[in-house]
Structures are given as C-alpha cells and as structure tokens.
Structure 1
Amino acid sequence: MADHGSGVAKGQPSGPVPEGSAARSGAGQGAPDHRVEPAARRSEMLAALSLAIDLGLGQPMEHMLRATLLGLRIADTLGIPEQPRGRIFYANLLAWIGCHADSHELAALFGDDIAFRADYYFIDAHGLPMLSLMLRHTGTGLPLLQRTVRRSQFAATATTAVRALISSHCTSAGRLADRVGLDAELPGILRHTFERWDGRGLPAGVSGVDIPVEMRIAQLADTVEVFLRNAGLDAAVGIVRERRGTQFDPELADVFCARAAGLTEGLLALDPWPAALAAAPAESALTAAELDGVLAAMGDFADLKSPWTAGHSRQVSALAAQAAVHQGCSSAEVLAVRRAGWVHDLGRMGVSNGIWDKPGPLSAVDRERLQLYPFLSGRILGRVPGMHRVAELAGAHRERLDGSGYPRGLGAGELDPGQCILAAADAYQSMLEPRPHRPGLLPADAAGRLRAESGAGRLAGAAVDSVLAAAGFKEARRRSLPSSLTARELEVLRLLCRGMDNKSIAAALVIAPKTARNHVEHIYVKTGASNRVTATLFALDAGLWDRAAE
C-alpha cells in the first residue's frame, strides 16, 4: 500500500454530508456539474483554513470563528478603529496557524500532539503548571519504566525544547501571513501568540502593552470560547479573573468580566460561519492568480504537518493537472483538479502525528481516525461558495472504484473522471515518497504498482494512463482483451471472481440486475465458462485477476 492512508477498509463518518462533498447521488462516470461558482474572498479561504486549525487544536470546527466574533465584539466595545479591527479579525482566525508546523516534534515528545494542545487551554501556561502538563504527556503509550526515564530526560531539557517549538510556531505563522497576502503587520502580531502580559511567555518574553492589542484580544477570546463552550459563562469569567494580569491584559479582562453576558450572548447558538464573514474587513474577490497563491500556501503548510509529506501536495497538483489535460478535460476542470491537488490533504491536520509518523502497523482505532481525513478536507473546503467542485475532488481522493476506499466506500458509479485522476495522482506520488513504515519506490516500480491497482479494479485505467503519461512514462499500447471481452465485461468478471452474484454485481457497478445478468451470460459465452468457478479459472489463466492484489 502507498502509505498508512491507503488501506482498503471502509469508514463511514458520522454527521451530515457537507455541501460540495464527493458523495453526490448519481454522480457517475459522466462529466461533473460545472456550475459557474462565485469567486472566493480571502476572508472565506482563511476562515476555511481556520476550520483545519481547529482540528489541530483538538477543538471542534468553528472554534476560531466564534473566538473571532467574540474578539470583534470586544474591539467594538473598546471603540477600536477599522484598520486594527481588520487585523483583529485575521489575528483571531490565524493565531494558531503555526501549530501544525511543530506537530512532528510535539508528537515525538508527547505522543499525541492534538491531545496536548487540547489540554493546553486548561492550564495557566508557565512555570510548574506548564511543566506538569508536559511531563504528564511525555512518554505517553510507553511502558512505565521507559516513560519514567523519558520524563526524567525531558525535565532536564524542557525549557530549551519548548522554546524551540514555539519559535517554530511563530516563524511558520508569520510566513503564512506573508504568503496569503495579509496586512504587513500581521506576521509581527502572530509572533506574539505565546507571549504573556506578565512577561513570562515565549519566545521573547515581551510583556504588557508591548504585545500588540490585536494579539491580546485574540488570546483572551480564544481561551474564553473554550471555557464558555465546555463549562459555561461563569467558568469563562472565572478563568479570565484568575489569569488577569498574568496571561491577560488587566484592562481587557475587566472589560470582559464586566460585560461578559452581553459579549457572549448567542455566541454558541448562532452559525459562526456567516456571522464571522459578515464581520470581515471589506475586500474584493480574489483574482484567479491570488486564489491560486492562497491555495498553494494552504497546501504547503498542511504538508508541513509531517516531514514525510513536505512538498507532497504541490507535486500532486502538478501531476493531476497535467493528467487532466492529457485526458481531455475542460479548462475549468483542469483548474479545479490543480486546485484540489494543492488542498486535498487539509484534513490531515485533524489526525495526530502519533498516527501519521507511526513506524509500525496501525491499530483499528488509529485506522478509523485516519480514514476520516478526506471527509474533513471536503467539509472544510465545501464551506467556501467558490470551492464546491474543489471540495468534491479533494473529498474523494482516497476512494476506489471497487468500493474499498474511504471515507465513504464510494464505487465506480459514484466517482467522476476528475476524482479518479486526483486519486491516481495522489496514489502515485505517495508511492514515490518514503513513509515511517516503508521506503519510497523508484518511479518505474511506482508505475508498476499503479498499473496493478488499475488491473485489480481499484483505480480507473484511463486516469492511471494519464497520470503515468504526465509523469513521463510512454503510453503502453492497450492490449486487446482475451476472448473479445469488453472493458465493462472485464469489470464484471473480476467481481464474479470475488464471489459476487448478479444482484451484488449490479449494486457495485450501479447497473440494473438484468444488465448484470446479461454481462455474465456474455462472459460465459465468450470464455467458454459455464459457471463462476470456470470463469475464475479463465481469469487467472489469462492474467485478468490476481487474488493477491485484492
């Protein structure tokens, strides 16, 4: 298999199917619906990115959107002018954007990077409380003796390790702000995410009003939203009072505590997506080039979740787009495939690096969590009005024609050509890249593996041919099938070999049972078979089916 994410077990995610997902009823193998979609705005794209950030923090999606609304309410109470108010909007959305860049190191220290960040909210993060949190997570999952040794070793180097992690976070956040075209002051603001009013923060120990007001508001709103949602208004007020003058600006803390009921009114009941975007700074729609730049930046930063995937999405994007051109897709579809290639892995941020970077086999629980990530990618992107087709493509890049993929176990009749191209491009690129549990393949070996996936009925033959052509392989002549079998009859024959009856074959291929029966009868006539067993022997002898590849 290509990597931890390419197993064949299905998973059915809970919750509603997101708008723009890959599970449209009756999508079939025909051309997708190319409705003209509105141009996306920067605020919409970064609001979508904030949903991925929420997952990496161990929070439900829309946490940062609600925090943004609260931050803007505080700003309005203080009479903050329009320009810094706009910076407050983006500082709240993106304060934690650098968190994924240190996930590999965080997981190496604490086992589950996402669980560590979730617990971080519930401590006053300095001194003994912070050390206690780190030691509690150090060596998670190790035997007692090894865990004790690991904790002792970490205690001696804790300050240096944490400073390095936070420096990495702040640098990454600033770089992203630069790349997506935000206010020139945003990178500097985001570098203060871990600073504290009392000067006991990191990385520089900045204190008081030297911390930009945009970040002081963002810090308070971020924490309040977590306590409000988990424990109610009294708990939120209590934590702000407790951390007044230490983590939080005393003046901001007093304003919040005095007006907490009004500032938080309806915050948990409203839909934060339209509410936050309605409060976004005034802006024009992104040009095509600007949108491409934002998407490419989002993909690069999502790939930094693990050193094993650095650069993966930009390679998939280029390969898939070239394959779409080769296959004769429309210019609109080529563009959508390219864009989906950049951001297809956004949902990876919702899975711990304890899973992505695991050197051995995954447990059933690990695999179930992992198989949710394409669903998350589709759901994140599907919130943006101009990204519905991109969401359809990204959400299906791990599906397979025979229904063995994930997250929904879609089959051939439910996947369109663009989705098949992205799936083949992602599979091929993943095979080339080393992973913690396996080395990367040479291009020729990856091409052979990809063709085997097509031969086994998991990847579309046309998509595989186009991806390999885009990768520089000469197109192989299509050999005629034995006994004049058609391509559809070959599909039916492989399902027959797996023990399916006519009704099951019809369901798998989304055809009428009568049609399936006719195909089976034609196969028997053409191959001289009289039943499933003799048809299976024919397939094995002709090299048309390989049980080991199933």
Structure 2
Amino acid sequence: MTRHGSAAGPRRAELLAALSLAIDLGLGQPMEHMLRSSLIATRLADRCGMDARARGAVYYGTLIAWIGCHADSPEIAAAFGDDIGFRADTYRVDRAGLPFLRLMLEHTGSGLPLWERTMHRAAFAVTARSRMSDLISSHCASAGALADRVGLGEEVSAVVGAMFERWDGAGLPTGVRGPDVPEVACIAQVADVAEVHLRAGGVAQAVAVVQARAGRAFCPSVAQTFTEHADEILDGLLTGDVWTESLAQAPDGDRELSEAELDGLLRELGAFVDLKCPALVGHAAAVADLVAAAARHAGMGPADVRVLYRAGLVHGLGRIGVSNSVWDKTGPLTAAEFERLRLYPYLTGRILDRVVGLEPIVAIAAAHRERLDGSGFPRGVRGANLSASDRLLGAAEAYQGWLEPRPYRPAMGPDLAADRLRAEAREGRLDAEAVDAVLAVAGHRIDRARPWPAGLTDREVEVLRLLAYGRSNREIATDLSIAAKTARNHVEHIYLKLGVGNRTQASLAAIDHGLVRPPVHASSD
C-alpha cells in the first residue's frame, strides 16, 4: 500500500479500519462492509448538514458500530447455532416484529434433531422478547465499553449503544423513540443496511429497503435525504478503492501512533478478540508477555522482542471469522469444521496486512500455527521457511493454550503442558530451542503476595476468574462448593467493586488487573 507524505508508522485510523474488517467477518459480511458503510454515512452526514465534530462521530461510529458483536457470540451460538450465519441473515429483515421472530425461530435449535428443535423453538417463542432484551442490553453495554477502550469517546459510544434502537420505539435496550434516537446513530443504521442491499441488488434495492423502513426502524428525514441523494451517496462504492477512500474521511487520518500508543491499541485488539470465547479471556496478553520474555531469554534484541510481543497480542484476531459453533464444540470437529478453524491465522493476516508499519508483526502472527514438519496451518509451511521469531511464537502460543481450559478438555497444569511442549519438539513439530526458551521463562516466574485490586477478597478473585472463563453463577457455586445465592452475591459485589455491569466488562477488568490465570490443577488432555 502506498501512503502519501512521509508517514511511515501505523496510524490509528488504519488500525481501526483493520478492526472494522474483523467486525465484518463476525457479521457474516465480506471485508470492507463497514468501510463502505462509513463512506455512505459520511456522505449522508454531509447532506444532512452535520458539523465536523458530528461527522467524525458518524465516521467512527459507523466504522466500528458492531464492535460488541463478537462478545455475544457464545450466547448467540447457544441460541441460534451458527452465530455468524445468524447475524448475516438479520440483514434480510427488519429487526422487529413477526419477520424478525420468524428469522430467530428458523435458527433456533439449528443442527438438532427435529423433535428437539421443535421443543427449543416453542420454548424460545415464549421468552423471545425478554431473552433478546437481556442479550442486546449486555451487547450495547459491552460495545460502549469497547469503543471507549480504543479511545473513541462518548459520541462514538452513543452510536454503538443505539444501533438496536428504532425510530418507532420498538427497539432495544431502552426503547427510545423519534428524536430521542441520536441522529448520528440514525445515519449509521441507514448506512449499515443500505450497504448490504447495495451489494445484493444495486442502488434500487438499497433505496427500496430504506424507504420501506422509514418511520419504523429509520428516522424519516434521514431516510428521505438518503433516498433523494442515493445515486451520489452510493456512487463508485462497488468499484473504487474503498480502503483508501474511507481512510481519507477519518477525522484524524494522518495521526501516527507513538510506540506506547501502538502497544496499548494492539493490546486492546487482543483483549477484544479474546472475548469471542470465554475460555480465551486473557490469552492474547499472556501469549505476548510469554513470547517477549522468551525472546529476551534467547538473546534477541529489543526491536525483535517488540515485534514478537506485538505479534503475540494480535495473533488470534482472525478467530472472529470462525463461528462459535466450531470454537465452543465439546466433541470432535467434522472435516468441514476443522477446515474453517484452519483459516483463522490466514484471516489474521488479511485483517492486518494493509496497515503500514505492521508488516513484520503480521507475518509472524499469521504463522503461529505453522509447524516444522509441515503439519501446521493455514499454509503447511515447513521448518526451513519458519524464522526464529515464527518458531518462538508457535511454542509460546501452544504452551499458553494448553494451560487454559477449552470446551473439549480441561486445562492442563504447568508440568503436563511442559511435557506436551517437549513432546512436540521431540516429534519435530516445534523447535527445540524455542521450546527451551519458553519453558525457561515459564518455569522461573515468581508470584509475590500482594493485596488484590479494587478491594477484592480472595474468594471474589476466585469467582471473578471463573466468571471470566464463562462459568454461570450456578456452575461457580458447584465449582467452589458454595450456595448459588452466595455465588450470586459474590458476583454482585465484584461488579460493584470493579464498577462494571456485566460479564464482558468484568472479564476486561480481570485482564487489566492481571487476574486471569490458568487453573492450577493439572489434568490429562
């Protein structure tokens, strides 16, 4: 990619544009959906007479409007099967009333035998409104928190928090109506839907859908402005260089990140993707810290250590493009499911490869599941083509992953994980020197006794860790041999002390405070 001027480091706008590509995958849309939507939104904002500040909020609010979607993936997959397929299908209908209920029922119990699917659908129909209300309320709170964490502020949070609201008051989570729906959100809603129907059926279909939803889902005046200027607003969007054109509209498009800012934003991206699966909470930061320590132990210079640390933070970004019906499966994967899983390192590379200045980071991140004997993925690269950095990240990610629970197995203890890592080296899949460096730094960690942050007690920290790994209050009670009411009280106290309102925010706080650790009990694979 060629950039005008002398800038050579990553820009914040580019990283957020890359984040939007990951969001696209989680929505079941082709990459550049949100980039195109941001162009539609800014062109529409201009025709609505918005000032520069509001226009900037519209740009970024539309670009990352669905930033919270992946955090709901476990719940969406549990209810509707393929979370990505469900989200893609929601663009076919107005997200309210009988059409939306029919869509949800179509997906409820997906993959189950007919009799069981029928029972699931009947049960869901009775509780649909309350269940969706709870899910969307949690989604909007999480989305707002994530928008704040990547530095986008209250005006952008207002957009992402209102994407499920409707002009007719039938939306969620608050059911505001009419002018109480922020205008910036009204524009983002129209742009998001119009882009999908532009690709599906051209300008005529996009206009027809927006007109049909005017006064119901969409603000009538915004819909009218879009309709009157649709040819200009949508001009060239299916043929132009969307990445470059969209970045040209960013209010801070030329702002380069400092080294500290880049580390901070990449760390947020790692935490962001970890929320896709409760078992992965804290994984990216743990891998990054481990591989950086191993690189220093191996004698690498500061520049190489920094690149490896950053690759560790973002190595799993492509996981968002794989359904939780795969990630959360407790039994063996089918061949088709495994092929979908094998794509995620490739998707990591696709998401980040247009960000100028990240090239060496992206190359290492995309190779973390390759193996010396060619048995890895996504490309089956063999040892001669794997650098020392590739080998270190592969060993660090494998070790850290085995320390963590997965839906199909419990966590391994450190000794068992170390034995497994050594076996991979003996069998020629992982590099022996990389394995030794990882194990050396993993075996010499010292935990110093210190008070817990936010005044948390020992028991509350235990509960928080289980909560972050996706355990319900009832499961926490069983794990800790306490009453369900006691577990619920602990969760309420944790939320109060951390100043959070749901599991996603509590999980992020646990990452921030360094409280997410693998279980200490060893078990077999």
**Residue 430 of structure 2 is aligned with which of 459, 467, 481?**
459
Residue 183 of structure 1 deviates from its aligned partner by 2.9
3-state SS of the aligned residue for 1:220? helix
3-state SS of the aligned residue for 1:385? coil
Instruction: Give the structure 1 partner of residue 328 of structure 2.
Output: 357
Instruction: Give the structure 2 partner of residue 425 of structure 1.
Output: 396
After the TM superposition, list the runs of 4 or more consecutive aligned residues in structure 1 that deviate by more than 4 angstroms. Answer: none
Instruction: Give the structure 2 partner of residue 204 of structure 1.
Output: 174
- Runs (5+) with no aligned partner, structure 2: 446-525
* Rounded Cα–Cα distance in structure 2 between residues aligned with 1:414 and 1:208: 59
**Residue 269 of structure 1 is aligned with which of 236, 239, 243?**
239
Instruction: Give the structure 2 partner of residue 180 of structure 1.
Output: 150
The question of whether the paired residues in 2 share the 8 Å contact of 1:37 and 1:385 is answered with no
* Rounded Cα–Cα distance in structure 2 between residues aligned with 1:270 and 1:214: 25
Instruction: Give the structure 2 partner of residue 95 of structure 1.
Output: 65
* Rounded Cα–Cα distance in structure 2 between residues aligned with 1:90 and 1:121: 21
**Residue 116 of structure 2 is aligned with which of 146, 161, 164?**
146
The question of whether the paired residues in 2 share the 8 Å contact of 1:423 and 1:459 is answered with yes
**Residue 329 of structure 1 is aligned with which of 285, 300, 321?**
300
Whether 1:320 and 2:309 are equivalent positions in the alignment is no
Residue 473 of structure 1 deviates from its aligned partner by 5.4
Whether 1:383 and 2:354 are equivalent positions in the alignment is yes
Instruction: Give the structure 2 partner of residue 162 of structure 1.
Output: 132
* Rounded Cα–Cα distance in structure 2 between residues aligned with 1:217 and 1:389: 37
Whether 1:406 and 2:377 are equivalent positions in the alignment is yes
**Residue 303 of structure 1 is aligned with which of 251, 274, 277?**
274
Instruction: Give the structure 1 partner of residue 467 of structure 2.
Output: none
3-state SS of the aligned residue for 1:238? helix
* Rounded Cα–Cα distance in structure 2 between residues aligned with 1:37 and 1:314: 28
Alignment of 1:39-118 (within 5 A): 39-118=9-88
* Rounded Cα–Cα distance in structure 2 between residues aligned with 1:317 and 1:311: 10
* Rounded Cα–Cα distance in structure 1 between residues aligned with 2:178 and 2:291: 50
Whether 1:471 and 2:442 are equivalent positions in the alignment is yes
Instruction: Give the structure 1 partner of residue 485 of structure 2.
Output: none
Alignment of 1:248-259 (within 5 A): 248-259=218-229
- Runs (5+) with no aligned partner, structure 1: 1-18, 20-35, 475-550
* Rounded Cα–Cα distance in structure 1 between residues aligned with 2:297 and 2:220: 62
Residue 293 of structure 1 deviates from its aligned partner by 1.3
**Residue 317 of structure 2 is aligned with which of 338, 346, 357?**
346
Instruction: Give the structure 1 partner of residue 186 of structure 2.
Output: 216
**Residue 257 of structure 2 is aligned with which of 261, 269, 286?**
286
* TM-score computed with the length of structure 1 as normaliser: 0.79
* Rounded Cα–Cα distance in structure 2 between residues aligned with 1:37 and 1:232: 37
User: What do the CA deviations read for 1:270-326 (whole angstroms, capped 9, x no partner)?
Assistant: 121111111111352111111111111111110000111111111101101101111
Deviates more, 1:113-122 or 1:123-132: 123-132
* Rounded Cα–Cα distance in structure 2 between residues aligned with 1:248 and 1:118: 19
* Rounded Cα–Cα distance in structure 1 between residues aligned with 2:105 and 2:376: 39
User: What do the CA deviations read for 1:397-422 (whole angstroms, capped 9, x no partner)?
Assistant: 10001100000000111110111111
Residue 469 of structure 1 deviates from its aligned partner by 1.1
3-state SS of the aligned residue for 2:318? helix
Whether 1:370 and 2:374 are equivalent positions in the alignment is no
* Rounded Cα–Cα distance in structure 2 between residues aligned with 1:416 and 1:373: 20
* Rounded Cα–Cα distance in structure 1 between residues aligned with 2:178 and 2:126: 30
* Rounded Cα–Cα distance in structure 1 between residues aligned with 2:24 and 2:255: 26
User: What do the CA deviations read for 1:497-516 (whole angstroms, capped 9, x no partner)?
Assistant: xxxxxxxxxxxxxxxxxxxx
3-state SS of the aligned residue for 2:399? helix
* Rounded Cα–Cα distance in structure 1 between residues aligned with 2:158 and 2:398: 39
3-state SS of the aligned residue for 1:235? helix
Instruction: Give the structure 1 partner of residue 106 of structure 2.
Output: 136
Letter in 2 for 1:259: H
* Rounded Cα–Cα distance in structure 1 between residues aligned with 2:148 and 2:47: 29
* Rounded Cα–Cα distance in structure 1 between residues aligned with 2:351 and 2:133: 31
* Rounded Cα–Cα distance in structure 1 between residues aligned with 2:391 and 2:7: 22
In our comparison, the structure showing a higher alpha carbon Rg is 1
* Rounded Cα–Cα distance in structure 1 between residues aligned with 2:154 and 2:69: 21
3-state SS of the aligned residue for 1:232? helix
Decide whether aligned partners of structure 1 residues 310 and 37 sit closer, same or farther in structure 2, where only a CA change above 3 A counts. farther
Decide whether aligned partners of structure 1 residues 215 and 439 sit closer, same or farther in structure 2, where only a CA change above 3 A counts. same
The question of whether the paired residues in 2 share the 8 Å contact of 1:101 and 1:168 is answered with no
The question of whether the paired residues in 1 share the 8 Å contact of 2:24 and 2:30 is answered with yes
Residue 37 of structure 1 deviates from its aligned partner by 9.0
The question of whether the paired residues in 2 share the 8 Å contact of 1:37 and 1:386 is answered with no
Letter in 1 for 2:172: L
The question of whether the paired residues in 1 share the 8 Å contact of 2:367 and 2:390 is answered with yes
Residue 209 of structure 1 deviates from its aligned partner by 1.7
* Rounded Cα–Cα distance in structure 2 between residues aligned with 1:453 and 1:473: 21
The question of whether the paired residues in 2 share the 8 Å contact of 1:381 and 1:390 is answered with no
* Rounded Cα–Cα distance in structure 2 between residues aligned with 1:196 and 1:312: 37
Deviates more, 1:407-416 or 1:204-213: 204-213
Residue 43 of structure 1 deviates from its aligned partner by 1.0
> C-alpha root-mean-square deviation of aligned residues, in Å?
1.4
* TM-score computed with the length of structure 2 as normaliser: 0.82
User: What do the CA deviations read for 1:218-237 (whole angstroms, capped 9, x no partner)?
Assistant: 10000000000012111111
The question of whether the paired residues in 1 share the 8 Å contact of 2:58 and 2:159 is answered with no
The question of whether the paired residues in 2 share the 8 Å contact of 1:103 and 1:305 is answered with yes
* Rounded Cα–Cα distance in structure 2 between residues aligned with 1:321 and 1:411: 23
Whether 1:238 and 2:208 are equivalent positions in the alignment is yes
Residue 367 of structure 1 deviates from its aligned partner by 0.6
* Rounded Cα–Cα distance in structure 2 between residues aligned with 1:446 and 1:90: 42
Instruction: Give the structure 1 partner of residue 516 of structure 2.
Output: none
Residue 48 of structure 1 deviates from its aligned partner by 0.3
Letter in 2 for 1:363: T
The question of whether the paired residues in 2 share the 8 Å contact of 1:98 and 1:168 is answered with no
Alignment of 1:17-56 (within 5 A): 38-56=8-26
* Rounded Cα–Cα distance in structure 1 between residues aligned with 2:57 and 2:157: 11
